[in-house]
């Protein structure tokens, strides 16, 4: 058991670099949500106009 722990402790970690800064992921998400909000806002009251 201790040999397995030593082997696990000495194994290098496999890390993956992000393609851009973490703040950019948040900024892109906010932009997408605002665009979807704008799309939803465009069609407000649409069903009442065609009755």
Predicted model pTM = 0.60
> What pLDDT sits at residue 50?
65
How many angstroms separate the CA atoms of 16 and 36, rounded?
31
- Which residues are CB-neighbours of 25 under 8 A, at least 6 positions away? 18
Q: State the average pLDDT for the chain.
A: 84
Give tens-digit pLDDT for 30-47: 999 999 999 999 988 777
> What pLDDT sits at residue 11?
62
Domain ranges of the chain: 19-51
Average pLDDT over residues 12-26: 87
How many angstroms separate the CA atoms of 35 and 29, rounded?
10
User: Does residue 43 come out as left (phi exceeding 0), alpha (psi in the -120 to 50 range) or beta?
Assistant: alpha
């Amino acid at each position: 058991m201790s040999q397995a722990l030593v082997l696990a402790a000495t194994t290098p970690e496999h890390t993956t670099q992000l393609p851009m800064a973490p703040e950019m992921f948040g900024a892109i998400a906010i932009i997408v949500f605002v665009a979807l909000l704008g799309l939803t806002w465009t069609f407000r009251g649409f069903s009442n106009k065609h009755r």
